[in-house]
Amino acid sequence: MGNNLKRRDFLKLAGLGGAVFASGLAGWPGAAAAQAGIAHDDFFFVQLSDSHWGFEGAAINPDAHGTLQKAVAAVNSLAQQPDFVVFTGDLTHTTDNPVERRRRLSEFKDITAQLKVKTLHFLPGEHDAALDNGKAYREFFGDTHYTFDHQGLHFIVLDNVSDPAAKLGDAQLAWLAADLESQPADARIVVFAHRPLFDLYPQWDWATTDGARAVALLMPHANVTVFYGHIHQENHQMTGHIAHHAAQSLIFPLPAPGSQAKRTPLPWDTTQPYHGLGFREVETRRRDLPDLITELPVNGA
């Protein structure tokens, strides 16, 4: 991506007004990658999360049947298209009916196929996968945990939802350990997960039962950043040198951790439709420039 300033200027001029978080991806570019002679360029990707396709609740979101499409349109309207889009789980709202679950997954896939960007990475949330251990999800989107590489960065997609007890599990943790062993200590590593890997607020189930084991495996690597969903709001926390960034939802916002007695969705604000909903751009830049996370509203307003 060669013209970031113009792209950001477009966002500003278009009134999209995204909040910018300026300590996103750490350590870019990795010295090992530079030594390996990999040709880096700036790039950005988009994170969407928690669309809960199939949710019904007019007091929470009277446009539940249209918000995901608005997000797709908003991404398609970006002046420059991202290198890829990642969906960090809860693509669909849970249902006890396996037929309905597949219908929702199918509709979600059809809607997101309208994105101009064709490189899409998915991972499940507990709403998609916890009731059948990810069986229906895999029929539509394939593996629930995997890796890929892009522009010298190593991306790891974790599944902390297919086990209804919110565990990564011994097998996946062994897989993660083996993958990390293949990476140099200063590799640029980006992790995608649905739930937070640390105990953000276990009282509201905002945790991963064995997430600390994953964080311990990641800790020897100097440049690790985690992006996740689940909590339906922007949140930024550190575990040691590892940054964890939670994304907004595309269906309803949830209250700040522990800010009220119950984890109930925030009601629709008729004076600010779509308030609290959105997606984010994550922009990597070269050398000593800070990387940027830009939060954007779902309706482009």
Binding site residues, another protein, CB under 8 A = 94-96, 126, 130-131, 161, 164-166, 199, 202-205, 209, 261-263
Instruction: Give buried/exposed letters for 170-200 (b at 16+ CB in 10 A, else e).
Output: eebbebbeebbeebbebbbbbbbbbbbbbeb
Q: Which is nearer to another protein, 18 or 276 (CB)?
A: 276
Task: Map residue 175 onto helix, strand or coil.
Answer: helix
The residue among 264, 250, 200, 262 whose CA lies nearest residue 85 is 250
Q: Which is nearer to another protein, 43 or 108 (CB)?
A: 108
Q: Which tokens go with 261?
A: 């007695």
Q: Which is nearer to another protein, 29 or 134 (CB)?
A: 134
Q: Least distance to another protein from the beta carbon of 189, Å?
A: 28
Contact 201, 230 (CB under 8 A): no
Q: Which tokens go with 191?
A: 């992790």
Q: Which is nearer to another protein, 4 or 209 (CB)?
A: 209
* Spatial CB neighbours of 178, under 8 Å, sequence gap ≥ 6: none
Q: Least distance to another protein from the beta carbon of 214, Å?
A: 18
Q: Least distance to another protein from the beta carbon of 299, Å?
A: 26
Q: Which is nearer to another protein, 20 or 212 (CB)?
A: 212
Identity (one letter) of the amino acid at 29? Answer: P
Q: Least distance to another protein from the beta carbon of 135, Å?
A: 14
Q: Least distance to another protein from the beta carbon of 161, Å?
A: 8
